[in-house]
Chain A
């Protein structure tokens, strides 16, 4: 279990056999971030039991699954917010709970789901708070801090908003600002908990394309929890499908996403077609209602 958690896990879960280089690489050197047989939950209720998962280095991993399948819980455990009751989460060869809190924050960043911007804070002020893990009591704003904040705002395209108040921004702009704060933290692993919730379709695409660009340009390891399966297929290069606290399938979405898998995971009958734009799988739900195409006459009549 401790040597190669990911392959053994797929074998257990009798689902789609995965190929893809992540597993083969992982077999040689374990991924920087992985969970070994973790049982996690709130109070007495276990949401995931004996779960092992590996986050492939340098990839954009997306975790999908129906509501309450444990995907956000898993992300919280991976980011040290939840302590597993059994098993452990390993970061760079050591139990993640064995590090000082600030040390973890220098290696792993998290875009949390429920963050609040203090009233009256400007964009740059908020992004600058991402520098906390690098600051000391008497070194609050070094030239390096300043450079990191500038770079993070540049990468997320919020430099022009720098002096604006966060309260006055649109949802999409605000999400880019929070992302900039995580970037300013300068970690090589970034976890994003539902980064597109509450955004309209254009802003969802904008944020996801930004994530992909950051993943490629900064060679950062990224993990996101997403609700939209089509977005996941389109932007992830490693997909983890979860159901009822266990992993049903993982791998390149172009190889693992089938109508059977979607039905098994989400209980949704669907057709899979080729996304004409990105040539990734596109899920078209089947409809129970038989509808004839509406013509002008039916509308007027």
Chain B
């Protein structure tokens, strides 16, 4: 391997050990992209498109892919258009939005905690959201808006409590995980108590929500999720690369000019908010936030945890998961949460088997 490669103009160039693209349209604008990461993201997006068209075309009313594309581009009318655009498209769009939100959120948490098992789940978010939904269904009602708000409030409150309990001159990943597990355990028994005490209808509604599902979603649910995910993603972009610097350790990040605690709190808030949006819209969907960043890291071979590939992987994962949930036992629809939990179990078994084999 050559240590120094030269550009066409003869100037020396840094060898990063992988191919990079440097774009410098002007003196004020410059970016460096890993070629592999860019290609991987492009391929994942293409796959997402293919699965999306397939998902839009399958069901009780089957359509060939070319007809789906024509329906999407407005060249079809009548039944085909109604089925593709009005019935099935919102579900696919929500799967993509929620999947990318979960992927991003998992990436933020794993990077902050420097732990591949870091996810909003470990700081008790989902258990708290469930408590919120139980309280809402028991005392307010159980339509979509009421459970969504219940989940949001419950989840955010739990995250705030965990953060405050773990705070001691800044928050360390490990302490956050331990406090999160403790708070989850407490809330878990509160949830049990609620379900035992509640009447059958409330318990049933809450249990249904607890599966995490994209069934029965329509265009009405798309705009709030789209705005929220869009705004939070923009926020992540605006916060720049400080997340990658925090991976170097607290002291190194501070020495490089990252205001450690405010930045970490901001990332935690955005990470929790992304999960909150996903959970409020579809209920708890596990595994995506956990696996997407890890799968993306293995595919891109990029150092640390990267946000964009995690988002793209998350979107594809949830889309595939939902496709399986709908088709596996058709006409019976499974909640997508059940599919992702099963996939998650298999993933963990594989991870454990690989690690134990690696240690021998």
Contacts and interface: CB of A to CB of B under 8 A. Distances in A.
B245 A142 contact: no
B22 A125 contact: no
Interface in A98-152: 100-106, 109-110, 112-126, 128-130, 132-133, 135-143, 145-146, 149-150
B24 A102 contact: no
B255 A124 contact: no
Contact of A81 (B251, B257, B301): B251
A156 interface: no
Q: Would you call the interface of chain A mostly helix, strand, loop, or mixed?
A: mixed
Nearest to A76: B251
Contacts of A126: 303
Chain B interface size band reads 35 or more
Nearest to A163: B17
Contact of B256 (A114, A129, A150, A162): A129
Nearest to B244: A129
Interface string A152-183: 01000001101111000000000000000010
A102 B257 contact: yes
Contact of A162 (B17, B24, B240, B254): B17
Nearest to B254: A81
Interface string B243-269: 011011101101111110000000000
A71 interface: no
A300 B302 CA distance: 59
Contacts of A110: 251-252, 255
Nearest to B237: A137
Given A123-B17, A124-B16, A163-B16, A142 B254 contact: no
Given A129-B244, A129-B248, A162-B3, A122 B18 contact: yes
A271 B251 CA distance: 38
B12 interface: yes
A149 B14 contact: yes
Contacts of A115: 248-249, 251-252
A4 interface: no
A122 B27 contact: no
Contacts of B359: none
Contacts of A113: 251
Contacts of B86: none
B32 interface: yes
A196 interface: no
Contacts of A153: 14
A150 B12 contact: yes
A164 B17 contact: yes
B109 to A, nearest CB: 15
A114 to B, nearest CB: 6
A294 B297 CA distance: 59
Nearest to A145: B30
Nearest to B255: A110
B3 A160 contact: yes
Contacts of B30: 138-143, 145
B238 to A, nearest CB: 7
A128 B297 CA distance: 20
B200 interface: no
Counting chain B CB atoms within 10 Å of each CB, which of A43, A120, A149 scores highest? A120
B15 A146 contact: no
A185 interface: yes
B304 interface: yes
B14 A138 contact: no
A117 B252 CA distance: 10
17 contacts: A76-B251, A110-B255, A112-B255, A114-B249, A114-B251, A116-B249, A120-B297, A124-B14, A125-B303, A128-B14, A129-B245, A132-B241, A133-B256, A135-B241, A138-B30, A141-B22, A141-B32
Interface of B: 1, 3-4, 12-18, 22, 24, 27-32, 114, 169, 238, 240-242, 244-245, 247-249, 251-252, 254-259, 297, 301-304
6 nearest A-B residue pairs (beta carbon) = A163-B17, A105-B257, A121-B303, A112-B251, A118-B304, A122-B17
Given A150-B14, A163-B1, 4 more contacts: A113-B251, A116-B249, A121-B304, A146-B14
